[in-house]
Amino acid sequence: AQKVTQAQTEISVVEKEDVTLDCVYETRDTTYYLFWYKQPPSGELVFLIRRNSFDEQNEISGRYSWNFQKSTSSFNFTITASQVVDSAVYFCALRHLYYGGSQGNLIFGKGTKLSVKP
Amino acid sequence: DGGITQSPKYLFRKEGQNVTLSCEQNLNHDAMYWYRQDPGQGLRLIYYSQIVNDFQKGDIAEGYSVSREKKESFPLTVTSAQKNPTAFYLCASSIGLGDRAYNEQFFGPGTRLTVL
């Protein structure tokens, strides 16, 4: 079965702390893609990153970094020196090329609500 | 500016009424999607369309209907058959499928539907 688990329902940190959001996925496919999206209070999902299953290199973008480990089926997201504007719900998602006709559809985790307090 | 627009932002409906949510994109994307989000839940796929005049059911299509007469537009109708329609509805689009299936989906601002 294809599934994405974000075990942390809510996290609260103080500004400037580092925080890691966990994402564990299940899939029987060898080719797949992983995504992270941010949903601020306004509601619109904002794309953060895409990673394919053949690329396990970690990625850093400013204060954001992602750690992809196929051995543990995890795709964790770290925010360094968190800021109040980082407060949002963060979703991890999995996407397949071919799966029962639902070509390319995203499977979302339930999200982690991050609150950064000043 | 290129993007996805959804209207209205807030919608109230009486039980037994059908209501249509609008989704328009000017990104020239082939694929469009409708998701439903409930509090504390991830997004669940209602319908998706890969090309004009074609669409497929997602995981929770019962009580919903869609049309795709134009590439830019993918309206969602919430019918009276939908037992629990109060939710946040998000529309998304992506460049396409097939070889480009890995491309990310872009989302609209959402419509919050409340049934009174």
pLDDT digits (tens, 9 = 90+) for B16-53: 899 999 999 999 999 899 999 998 888 999 999 988 99
The band of A97, judged by pLDDT with boundaries at 50, 70 and 90, is low
A101 inside 8 A of chain B by CB: yes
Query: In the beta sheet, which residues pair with residue A28?
Result: none
Give the confidence band of B104 by pLDDT, cuts at 50, 70, 90: confident
d(CA A73, CA A85): 29
Kindly tell me the number of DSSP H helices and DSSP E strands found in chain A: 0, 12
Structure confidence by residue, pLDDT tens digits, A69-94 = 999 999 999 999 999 999 999 999 99
Among chain A residues, the shortest Cα distance to B97 is held by A104
Interface test with A, best of B55, B88, B89, B102 (most A CBs within 10 A): B102
Enter the DSSP assignment of B104.
P
The pLDDT, as a whole number, for residue A99 is: 46
Given a cut of 70, whether residue A101 has pLDDT beyond it is no
Strand, helix or coil for residue A20: strand
Q: What separation in angstroms does the CA of B1 have from each of A16, A95, B29, B51?
A: 34, 28, 15, 23
User: How far apart are the C-alpha atoms of A35 and B103, rounded to whole Å?
Assistant: 10
Whole-angstrom Cα distance, residue B112 to residue B116? 13
